């Protein structure tokens, strides 16, 4: 089984998707984070609307550049795995690419500016952790639901990211994307309350996947249907290496 998984991963298609996730995540985050840093140089506290538009436009532009072929967000990848559009080991490869892209972006911002404090996601003073967790869950839920419902139109992701930032930027800095939160945290070794920026988005992604497949599209009527399709998706044979179903990427 391990040999089949490795042969499924060690393909030009998987390398292509890995590079798309790395490059796309790094590009998106570099654009958004550099804008925040420049605003911070002129204003000690950037306007939430400006930050929201920066990240919304950045992700919209990046989505157009990659043609919607990259998730650019670990939460989206989690939802794609739960909705059985991606095999688990390929989802892990996507996650690695996204996280490395986040680290590369943060490292570049640190090298260029010397201080990336404004782009480190932190729970705002006076905000309780459960409140921050709830906000991260909510904004990620709406983002991932938009991605799942409008897969053929990645440009609509931009408004969803903008909306999420308008809601959460003054509460948590708006993680909504664990790769975005992880990069600056790793580069500065500041992981204060970092679990919020993983647990919230991951729960939001799971809820979005459930709402999409059980309510909006009704792919499965009982848990056994999902489990049967999950096993079918992950059953690999030598023949599967020659013809991988299109929906598994």
pLDDT digits 0-9 by tens, 197-210: 999 999 999 999 99
pLDDT the model gives residue 161: 95
Structure tokens at 134: 């709830």
What tokens were used for 235?
């059953």
Instruction: Find the helix packing angle between 178-188 and 74-82, rounded to 10°.
Output: 140
pTM for this one?
0.88
> Are 168 and 134 contacting, i.e. CB atoms less than 8 angstroms apart?
no
User: Each residue of 50-79: pLDDT tens digit?
Assistant: 999 999 999 999 988 887 778 999 999 999
Lowest-pLDDT choice from 18-22, 68-72, 244-248: 244-248
- Give tens-digit pLDDT for 132-174: 999 999 999 999 999 998 876 777 889 999 999 999 999 999 9
Assigned CATH topology for domain 13-236: Glycerol uptake facilitator protein (1.20.1080)
DSSP H helical ranges for 114-150: 129-149
Contacts of 217 (CB under 8 A, 6+ apart): none
């Amino acid at each position: 089984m391990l040999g089949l998984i490795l042969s499924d991963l060690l393909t030009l298609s998987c390398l292509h998707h890995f590079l798309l996730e790395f490059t796309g995540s790094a590009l998106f985050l570099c654009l958004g984070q550099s804008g925040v840093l420049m605003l911070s140089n002129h204003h000690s506290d950037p306007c939430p609307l400006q930050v929201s538009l920066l990240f919304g436009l950045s992700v919209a532009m990046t989505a157009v550049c990659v043609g919607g072929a990259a998730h650019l967000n670990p939460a989206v990848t989690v939802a794609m795995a739960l909705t059985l559009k991606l095999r688990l080991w390929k989802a892990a490869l996507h996650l690695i690419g996204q996280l490395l892209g986040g680290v590369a972006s943060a490292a570049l911002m640190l090298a260029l500016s010397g201080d990336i404090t404004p782009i480190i996601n932190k729970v705002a003073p006076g905000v309780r952790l459960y409140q921050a967790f709830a906000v991260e869950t909510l904004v990620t839920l709406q983002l991932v639901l938009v991605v799942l419902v409008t897969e053929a139109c990645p440009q609509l992701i931009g408004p969803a990211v903008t909306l999420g930032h308008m809601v959460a930027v003054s509460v948590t800095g708006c993680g909504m994307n664990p790769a975005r939160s992880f990069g600056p945290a790793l580069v500065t070794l500041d992981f204060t309350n970092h679990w919020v920026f993983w647990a919230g988005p991951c729960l939001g992604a799971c809820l979005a996947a459930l709402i999409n497949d059980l309510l909006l599209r009704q792919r499965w009527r009982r848990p056994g249907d999902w489990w049967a399709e999950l096993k079918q998706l992950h059953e690999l044979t030598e023949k599967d290496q020659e013809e991988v179903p299109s929906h598994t990427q």
